[in-house]
Amino acid sequence: MKYAGCPWELGLAETQQALVANNLRHKIRLQVDGGLKTGLDVVKAAILGAESFGFGTAPMVAMGCKFLRICHLNNCATGVATQDETLRKEYFKGLPEMVVNYFTGLADEVRELLAELGVEKLTDLIGRTDLLEAVEGMTAKQSKLDLSNILEAPVSPLSHPLYWTEPNQPFDKAELNQKIVEETETAVENRSGGSFYFDVRNTDRSVGARLSGSVAKRYGNQGMATSPIKLYLDGTAGQSLGVWNAGGVEIYLTGDANDYVGKGMAGGKLVIKPHVGTTFTCNDATIVGNTCLYGATGGKLYAAGTAGERFGVRNSGTIAVIEGAGDNACEYMTGGIVAILGSTGVNFGAGMTGGFAYVMDSNDDFEGRVNTESVEAISLSDLYIHQEHLRGLIAEHLEETGSVHAENILANFDEWIPKFYLVKPKAADLRTLLGHQSRSAAELRVQAQ
């Protein structure tokens, strides 16, 4: 993608001016990114209002990226942006010191520029737009540009500083997370596992995160997988349930959950099911929100209901079973297995380079919803080994959630099979899909033990 979006200078200047005019700037740390490369870029960004700076491409190039723009094809020539172990082993030569050297040189350049300007520290530059001047345009079109609004110096109505000085205390005190950590402390210390019960509501965010952090800090991501701590929750969970979930943390939610369920999860298990006696049909009702399993690397997720948009985006190792999904499901997926027992939205599998999915074409329109540039959808009718694999996933889903929909599929499996497709990256070999590493190496090692 080229020539999309706007220059960061426009957005930064407008954001700085709006925050200052509304007496909010001193409460907010303002970060800018978008092609920053040199110390001069940093100084200009600071003058326009930033105090934090994001770098993406430049450090990647420092580590060996040749900027070939084929990151989405999983065949990076330098082994930087690929899940192919051969390419990573043979061609990736990057070292942490390369990135350290880049940022050291960048910092030296910033210090030199500060010295030239007679400024002691970077925050003294914020809002000093008098140090910038617009150069004359070299073309007729450039000469018509009026950059005066960008260079306007904002003034705080209440004389607050033009940079962040006042901590912004979070509204969420994470009381449930703290309670979970306290009640499970002995089980974690003794590595004994156990079952614990809590009520949850939608203001409880990132439930389980502190517990996973405590487990991972002591024993590593999979250190308690053989003696798990099981959290039984009842209610509606707020955003990011099971975020960064560690192996050995299993969360069973009766109710529903908001966005980002299982974001970055490394192991363990997340099970979400409706209350017994609900009048709606589980596979017709949403039970988890958008962008679930974003960047997840391991573990399992079972949800007896449908998910929102972008389910499994950047999933690289988690095994999941859900009963429907919105648009852009399995986007940029690089590993793992996703079974969707219901309809999906459009643009399925865009940018998928690894892993695979089973999808039910319940509305006979799935072929028109697949991103054919990235993946191919193959009928499961003649793929007998994959049929049995899918049967096993659905059986696990039924055991964990008690899904009536899953029970119906298993009871009439041969009748449902013609409605299923296997979706895989175009470059993937169908014959070896089940032999590929579909979970993290650490999780596989734990299961082998």
- Residue pLDDT tens, the chain, 449 long: 556 678 899 999 999 999 999 999 999 999 999 889 999 999 999 999 999 999 999 999 999 999 888 887 778 899 998 877 888 899 999 999 999 999 999 999 999 999 999 999 999 999 899 999 988 888 998 888 888 999 999 999 999 999 999 988 878 889 999 999 999 999 999 999 999 999 999 999 999 999 999 999 999 988 899 999 999 999 999 999 999 999 999 999 999 999 999 999 999 999 999 999 888 888 999 999 999 999 999 999 999 999 999 999 999 999 999 999 999 999 999 999 999 999 999 999 999 988 999 999 999 999 999 999 999 999 999 999 999 999 999 999 999 999 999 999 999 999 999 999 999 999 888 988 887 444 343 433 344 33
CA distance 97 to 61: 13
4: left (phi over 0), alpha (psi -120 to 50) or beta: beta
Does residue 333 contact residue 313 with C-beta atoms inside 8 Å?
yes
Helices (DSSP H) in 92-143: which residue ranges? 96-117, 140-143
How long a stretch of residues is the chain? 449
Does this model's pTM top 0.85? My answer is no
State how beta strands 300-303 and 269-273 pair: parallel
What is the token pair recorded at 428? 């993937």
Q: Give, as one character, the DSSP assignment of residue 217.
A: H
CA distance 376 to 84: 19
Alpha carbon distances (Å) from 430 to 73, 194, 378, 435: 17, 41, 10, 10
CA distance 133 to 147: 9
Does residue 427 contact residue 349 with C-beta atoms inside 8 Å?
no
CA distance 239 to 220: 25
Q: Give, as one character, the DSSP assignment of residue 381.
A: T
Edge-first strand listing for the sheet containing 334-340: 194-200, 229-237, 249-257, 269-273, 300-303, 316-322, 334-340, 354-360, 420-425, 375-379
